[in-house]
Structure 1
Amino acid sequence: MAEEISSEQEIDLTNERAWIRTVSDPHEGIALSKDAYRRALETGYNKGQAAALLNIGWGHCYTAQYENALTSFLDALDVFRGARDRRGETFATLAIGVVHHTIGQLKTARRHYEKSLKIAQEIHDRDREAAAINSIGEIRLSGGETEKALEAFESAIAIASPDNAGFRASVMINRATALHSLGRSVDAEGELSRALASARTLGNRVGEARSLVELGRFFHAQQRWDEAYDTYRACVGVCEENGNKLGLVACLKHLGALHRDRGEDGESLGCYEYAIETATSIGTLSNVCDCLYEISEIYERRGDYPHALEYSRRFADAQHAVITSETTSKVKTLVLQHEKDSVDRQSEIYRLRNVELAEAHARLSTIVRIGREITASLEIGRVVATLYAGIREVLDARTFAIGLVDSDSGVLVYKYGIENERPVEPVSIPLDSETSFGAYVVRTNSEVVFSDSDVEADRFVKNWNTGRSGRVRSGLYMPLNTGNTTIGVVTVQSEQVSAYADHHVEIIRALASYVTIAIENSLFVERINQLNSALQSEKNDLQRANREIKHMANHDNLTGLPNRRLVMELLSDSLEMARRRGNLVGVVFLDLDNFKPINDTYGHTVGDGVLAQVAKRVSDALRQSDIIARVGGDEFIAVVRDVESRDAVETVVKKILAVLSAPIELDDVKYPVHASLGVAVFPHDADQVETLITRADDAMYRVKQREKNGYSFYADTEGL
């Protein structure tokens, strides 16, 4: 006779099933979790309530319902605290950090990750400690701190208990991503293979699917087409077998991209349409948006402009819906966090002084109210007017202005300003200006607060003068940040000395987050409207817009050179022309020697500058008919077209080496740069694009192995 189980055990089993479904079909997982929560609430089972709330929060997170996700996680945290379950607190606190990480609030996310880490260390729970360290590593990885991210992942692996194999496999995937970013491809592949083997041993089908899709992406990036295809197909099979719709959508998108890169448009369209159908069924609209864009690109490339226009319009509609939904969710999430923080702060203030509690509550209520009002509008002029009216209720603001950074022009544009209740004319200030508080804020990403400009201005600027009637004596300047980027500044100013107390500074600081969201909303809607107008215009406008999009997709952002995708197409065309004319084509694979120490020693900004100068020098050295492309971190491919002899190719190669012989000079500092070049010649060495590039790459590695800073033809290395 089967052993009877208690109601609490039934709730626990339901929560376990709900978690499994949440990561594959969020809506079904949420429904199961709500049932578990209802039964746990009826029986007073706190642990079951909290577990269900966590599952519900993750389901909302997977479907971009960030406000609902944060609400569930905060409720779970309250339940855990009420039950004095400190381990549970680490789960809920970490989950709150994930919501903020997802919507780009990196500082807030890291604060929650570190809080979760602190609790885990206090209760000596090594697995929860490892989870927090892994999340901190993910923030470092997204911020470009790859080496530090790798250290965090390795620390998480070392701390986690050996029997926590599922978590360890997940960290392996993160570690592989970091290794690949650092150019350690062999190590990355090994790590992904171990993660896959671990998931299969555990029978973790979701982990197996994630490992397969990441391994497929690795093969794809390495242009190991067949291995990538087989891996993606295996992932599709795993996801279909266990109903993992979220994983299936991710895999289909990558498989569609693989077919696209191989020129298999029909198969690519099929993958994207299947992904749209699946994503629609689980409500992940952002995935639908991605697929519509790719389908539009395929039709545009094929010259099928009616279908391209149809899918471009569907993409624009879907993207507008995504941004509207996600922006609303982000705004409400910030409001919720403010309200939660307000409750915590209010409790502490009440303990100290009832009068201060009332004042603090009024200020926080004002912040939330103004924040909601300004983020409710998509028209920047109305945002400015609403913000100014709200600020004047709580502080003296003779002058109020919002400046936005114009990166292209290198200026801070005060386009929206009010002085003595009247609009002021826009003014542009160079970002390197030493007489502007606003420029100082943008350059340093720091706040400026002064109580008497006569005494304190020199701390920030030189020879400061308002340039307007009246005198500004007190001022507040706050940076407007999105992620790690400063996009502008908001300022209020007064003619009175010491016009602003600490609580005034807190108000403007808090409102800056809302102002950033409102500006992003406005600029995005403005861009969407421009795109919609373009889509409604004549055919030549559509073709020009598509050409611009295609250029962005086919060119390297840093150097402006063609990327790997485009050079493959151009090389294919060059070979076809050479076949007809009976000419030769030289493929030169160029890899910089000892470039990594420049990045490690001087930073990526200098490294990027060196790469840009290398690209310019090589471009200038080539003939007008030749091609140069950037295909990797410090890897380039040159195509020497329409030549009649190997000697002609060799002449170009020698010119490239010659122009790279002199050091790169940036800001009066010289950086020595050399290169190893491998050359393959069509049709002598190969007659297919992939084979020619591979053989040029092989020849380049021969140079690397010998002495570097030289060149070698594949024909001269064959058999060595």
Structure 2
Amino acid sequence: MSGPMKNASSGMSDFYPSFLLPMTEWEESPGEGEPLIEERPSTDPIQLAWSYIRKARSVLLLSRTKEAQEWAMKALELFKAHQHTRGLVHVFLFLGILFLEQGALEKSLENTTLAIELAQNMKSPELEILGFHTVGQVLLKTGEVHEALQYFLQADKKIKEATSLQGSKVFYELETLLFINLGEAFIALGETDNGAEYFALAQEAATHLNNVTVEIRILKGLAIIQKRRGFRKEAMEMLERAIEEAQRYSLRLYLIELWLELGVIHIELNEYDRAIQIFTDVVTESEKNGLFPYVAEGYRNRSLAYEASLNFREALSDFKRFHETLEHISLEQSVSRRRDAEILFELEKAQREAEIFRLRNVELREHKDALERSNRQIQAVAEAGKAITSSLDIQEIARLVQENLKTLMEIEGFSLAMYEEAQEQLQFVFCVEKNEPQSLPPLSLDDSCHLLVWVVQHQQSIRIDDLEKSLAEGVSPLRYLEGVSARSVIGIPLTLGGTIIGTLSIHSQKRKAYSEEDVRLLESIGTFVAIAIQNSQHRQELLRLNEALRAEKEALEQLTRKVSRLANHDGLTGLPNRLLLAELLERAIQRSKRQKTLLAVLFMDLDNFKPINDTFGHQEGDRALVEVAHRIKGALRASDVIARVGGDEFVVLLMDMDNEEGARLVAEKIIKTLEHPLYIEGQLCQLGVSIGIALYPHDGGSGDELIRHADEAMYRIKRAGKNGYTFYSVR
């Protein structure tokens, strides 16, 4: 870049973590360390609304999402009240990115799409371009990279068509945004070289600007490119520069994204403690401000850092928190959809009640009765919706829908099918004909002449008044359920956020049994059914994830136990090794000190063992060592400890002794048990053992001292003729 960018806003300012937005009304650049925007009091409602949206953008960068939403809604109310379309576009674009950061993807797309429509109606090319960028960024963040590229290319086309913008500051800002977004998209596709080219173009275009957030996004993109090319040191330097700028202006959202990238590099450099600390900061900052997608990403990456550092317990714990956060995000979205549907019904109810009141005043009794009847239907639908969405069992959901519909309209048959995208088919989960359950095979979407397939393909409801007559006269080629006698039919798609979930249909043998009002009523209930089905699918997925987590936990626990045993036991004899012996000896000393008893350490070295290895080989020598360990263990009490500390060296700990006589008896017992020869390849082999004994507290106060003194005593026996024992301190 041509030089440091000192201003966090100028001209068309960037108050988002991912977007540039043009705002020429009453902007000013803050100094270092100051908040991005300070609200200016004004009596003009439009100016006040602009100050609210600027305040919302400012606090969003400080990660205060709840406060940001409150300011945005204040601005929305004022812009709506004064029909200020340009202001509404800004608010909807802002809400789009706010909901994206909170993980509410459907609300994010809904607001950004609305912003594009308003911008197109007011023929504002720069706002329309920004709308395309916003939708593209939402899709990019949800992993729909190719779809995101389509929106970025539409933005590119609009920029080229907007000749009135050429050479202006707005043009350079839009062009810079385009190059950054295209660079990020190609990086997401794994096309590093293409991404590098677009970021180079972004750097060149940014020379016309003076914006710190542009610099941060470019530094972040270039750092990712350097990391992928293997230049981690250069990548870290770029990220640290970006972090310094983000901290200087308190850009908390940018800071979280930069921390995530920096932490990954520390993992790749095996700097696990630093990575864990960074991801802990990500989790803390994100949880504090309700940024649950970042919370989930923090837990996931910290789990990888713990796993790489062999801390499997913490790795598993963070992996569970990662899935719990995803579950929370999914649950929040489901609850939000249900709440939105209930609010919609309450609004419709309120509107109809208001209309009823008006009709009462003018004594239009006929219309009043019809509206009251319709209001009762809406109330019944709302109550049915609450019952439906409280269940997670698909069969129970379908049964509740059928029972509630029977109280509202003529129904002789009912079907509920779920769309299976992988198989391109509809799977019937519930079908009833005259109160008798029916079993229907899956319906392929290749059958374009089937009524329910038409509903899925067009995502539209359909009503047929006389199916038999329509087929006979060739008016409609659509067929209905095989083996079902029906004349009047309604079929509706079950959708959420534009995604097909399944279909719902009702039928009757009467002609013209249904009206368009019945279609709308069925669509209203269908909203609740779609939410309930998705909740059920989420529950099944969560059950699957929990089972996978349980299996992974068991595997990790088994691995931990195995690693612990390998680290603390001799691989040949299964006895404690020198490492575990040191720990057991320290415990035994503390026990002896508390209970004021003697502790004996017996250091043993086998006599005449080397000839066995030389004559019969190491394999037979290993078998001999296993047999010796078995014999020595048989001469001890259950509370005593035996460890292998070398090739043919063993150490025994005798605890809770009143005097040295107990150690003497055990030593004699071990010598006696080894007097019996070993049979190796049909030959008798005689072994002996030299034993040195040190007593606590007489011969030493630490484990190392006792082992050393017992070893010295053992060598005295070796020099004296072997196959015997002696105490370190002769009494």
TM range (shorter): 0.5 to 0.7
Which residue in the other structure is 1:131 paired with?
A: 130
What amino acid does structure 1 have at the position aligned with 2:196?
E
Please point out which of 507, 510, 513 is paired with 1:499. Answer: 513
By how many angstroms is 1:521 displaced?
A: 1.9
Give the Å deviation of 1:78: 4.2
* Equivalent residues in 2 for 1:627-706, closer than 5 Å: none
| Gap runs ≥5 in structure 2 | 1-8, 19-34, 560-731
Q: Are residue 48 (structure 1) and residue 48 (structure 2) matched?
A: yes
Q: Which residue of 1 aligns with 2:215?
A: 208
Moved more, 285-294 or 530-539: 530-539
Name the SS of the counterpart of 2:196 in structure 1.
Answer: helix
Q: Give the drift of 1:322.
A: 2.6
- 1:523 alignment counterpart: 537
Asked if 2 retains the 8 angstrom alpha-carbon contact of 1:149 and 1:178, the reply is no
Tell me how far apart the structure 2 counterparts of residues 190 and 54 of structure 1 sit (CA, whole Å).
33
CA radius of gyration, larger in:
2
**CA–CA separation in structure 1 for the residues paired with 2:60 and 2:397:** 29
Distance 1:348 1:189, change over 3 A: farther
Deviation of the 1:542 alpha carbon? 6.3
The corresponding residue for 2:6 is none
State the partner residue of 1:86.
85
Q: 8 Å contact 1:33–1:52 — kept in the other structure?
A: no
Shift of 1:283: 2.4
Paired AA for residue 91 in structure 1:
H
TM-superposed CA distance for 1:368, in Å, is 5.3
User: Closer, same or farther in 2 for the Cα pair 1:410/1:92, shift >3 Å?
Assistant: closer
Q: Does 1:328 align with 2:327?
A: no
Q: CA RMSD in A?
A: 4.9
Q: Which amino acid aligns with 2:464?
A: F
Tell me, yes or no, if structure 1 residue 313 matches structure 2 residue 334: no
Letter in 1 for 2:430: Y
Distance 1:456 1:543 in 2: 66
Pair 227,365 (structure 1): closer, same or farther in 2 beyond 3 Å: farther
Q: Residues 364, 427 of structure 1: CA spacing in aligned structure 2 closer, same or farther, 3 A cutoff?
A: same
Asked if residue 509 in structure 1 is aligned to residue 523 in structure 2, the reply is: yes
Kindly indicate whether the alpha-carbon contact (under 8 Å) linking 1:411 and 1:431 is maintained by their aligned counterparts in 2.
yes
Change over 3 Å in CA distance of 1:207–1:494 after alignment to 2:
farther
The amino acid that maps onto 2:483 is G
- Mapped to 2, the partners of 1:202 and 1:339 lie a distance apart of 49
State the shift of 1:534 in Å. 4.5
SS of equivalent residue, structure 1 residue 211? helix
Aligned CA distance change for structure 1 residues 231 and 388 (closer, same or farther; 3 Å): farther
User: What are the superposed Cα offsets for residues 239-285 of structure 1, whole Å, 9 maximum, x if unpaired?
Assistant: 22222222111122222334445555444333322211221232212
**Aligned equivalents of 1:62, 1:383: Cα separation in 2:** 43
What letter corresponds to residue 169 of structure 1 in structure 2? T
Matched with 2:413 is: 399
C-alpha distance in 2 between matches for 1:118 and 1:496:
47
Instruction: Give the whole-Å Cα distance in 2 for the aligned partners of 1:174 and 1:348.
Output: 49
> Which residue of 2 is the match for residue 229 of structure 1?
236
Give the drift of 1:324: 2.1
Aligned-pair CA distance for 1:328: 1.9
Q: Equivalent residues in 2 for 1:404-443 (5 A)?
A: 404-409=418-423, 411-420=425-434, 424-425=438-439, 427-433=441-447, 436-442=450-456
Distance 1:274 1:108 in 2: 32
Supply the AA of the counterpart residue of 1:292. Y
Q: Contact between 1:440 and 1:460, CA under 8 Å: does it hold in 2?
A: no
- Whole-Å Cα distance in 1 between the matches of residues 328 and 139 of structure 2? 30
Contact 2:132 2:151 in 1 (8 A): no
1:163 aligned residue: 169
For residue 499 of structure 1, give the secondary structure of its aligned residue in structure 2: coil
Conserved in 2, the CA contact under 8 Å of 1:64 and 1:326? no
Change over 3 Å in CA distance of 1:328–1:213 after alignment to 2: farther
Q: Is the 8 A contact 1:71 1:336 kept in 2?
A: no
1:620-654 superposed Cα distances (whole Å, 9 cap, x missing partner): xxxxxxxxxxxxxxxxxxxxxxxxxxxxxxxxxxx
AA in 1 matched with 2:169: D
- How far apart are the structure 2 equivalents of 1:167 and 1:213? 19
Instruction: Find the residue that maps to 1:208 and give its secondary structure.
Output: helix
CA distance in 1, matches of 2:255, 2:190: 28
The DSSP-based 3-state class of the residue aligned with 1:326 is helix
Q: Is the 8 A contact 1:113 1:136 kept in 2?
A: no
The residue aligned with 1:283 is 290
Alignment of 1:30-429 (within 5 A): 45=45, 47-49=47-49, 51-52=51-52, 56=56, 76-95=75-94, 103-104=105-106, 108=110, 112-121=114-123, 125-135=124-134, 142=144, 144-145=146-147, 148-158=150-160, 159=162, 162-164=168-170, 166=173, 168-178=175-185, 188-195=195-202, 202-261=209-268, 264-300=271-307, 304-333=311-340, 335=342, 370-409=384-423, 411-420=425-434, 424-425=438-439, 427-429=441-443
Question: For the residues of structure 1 that align with 2:212 and 2:174, how far apart are their CA atoms?
Answer: 14
In structure 2, C-alpha distance between the alignment counterparts of 1:320 and 1:65, rounded to whole Å: 20
- Secondary structure class of the residue paired with 1:402: strand
- AA matched with 1:229: M
Kept in 2, the 8 Å contact 1:33–1:56? The answer is no
Q: 1:478 aligns with which of 475, 489, 492?
A: 492
Higher helix share: 1
Post-superposition offset of 1:361: 6.1
Q: Which amino acid aligns with 1:290?
A: E
Contact 2:16/2:57 (<8 A) preserved: no
Task: Say if 1:544 and 1:340 are closer, same or farther in 2 by CA, change over 3 A.
Answer: farther
What is the Cα deviation at residue 510 of structure 1?
4.2
Quick check: 1:313–1:535 contact (8 Å CA) kept in 2? Answer: yes
Counterpart of 2:615 in structure 1 is: none
Q: Cα deviations across residues 64-93 of structure 1 (Å, max 9, x unaligned)?
A: 989x98897676444223224332233245
Residue identity opposite 2:105 in structure 1: I
Q: Residues 338 and 401 from structure 1, CA distance in 2 versus in 1: closer, same or farther, beyond 3 angstroms?
A: same
Change beyond 3 A, Cα 1:465–1:21: closer
Q: TM-score, normalised by structure 2?
A: 0.57
* 1:105 to 1:83, Cα distance in 2 relative to 1, 3 A: closer
- Three-state SS of the structure 2 residue aligned to 1:292 is helix
Q: CA deviation at 1:311?
A: 2.0
CA distance in 1, matches of 2:353, 2:215: 47
